[in-house]
Amino acid sequence: MKRLFGVFVSLFFVSGLGVLDALATDLIGAATISQTSETAAKAKIDAMNIARRQILFDVLSNYAEIEGLTELMDKTPDEDLIGFISAAGVSNEHISSETYSATITMDIDNDIVKKWLTLNEVKNWVPIAETAETFSMFVVLPNGISDWAELKRITAADNVDIDTIAIIGNQIFAKLPLSYRTKFTAAIRDAGWRFADNSGVLQVWR
């Protein structure tokens, strides 16, 4: 018998509308998921599917007619939704024999979801993505604002501004110019930070 003991999801999204014009086309969300299944591997797969579906619906519900979006999401299988995510990051990951929990952040591909909604005749006003080349960064700050200030000083020394997209407790989702990535990772490594690439998202921590 399949064991599935429930899901806890906490979600935020950032579109940037009415906040910063520079962020007006960013469709980003995060969900904190705790999932139990037969194995940890199955629980992780289920958690990622749940997070992806929940983030897509809650973010796109601000840009599409709800009834049409709900109907379309209900009939779209999980595997078809994978291509709508351009980048994803994971933090606070905990794994046991049958349980997986993490905070999962996803960056939605504006152009793909807009085409999907339009082809399925769902009224929408999803903004077209900016063309500037940037990369996403998910930062865990054990010392809070002092850590963030240090990263800001590193980029400021190179005359580069960090675009802060969202703040989740002691974690920040931000963007930097793609051309600056190599220099930035070298600088933070020298300053004692660690980093890893996760599906295009740079995860940074101490």
The predicted-structure confidence for 169-180, as pLDDT tens digits, reads as follows 788 888 898 889
Cα–Cα distance for residue pair 106/14, rounded to 1 Å: 11
Reported as a single tens digit per residue, the pLDDT across 99-135 is 999 999 999 988 889 889 988 999 988 876 555 588 8
pLDDT per position as a tens digit, 81-96: 999 998 888 989 999 9
CATH no. for 7-119 = 3.30.1660
Domain 134-205: CATH architecture, name and number where available: 2-Layer Sandwich (3.30)
Domain boundaries, the chain: 7-119, 134-205
Please report the sign of the dihedral spanned by the C-alpha atoms of residue 195, residue 101, residue 45, residue 55. negative
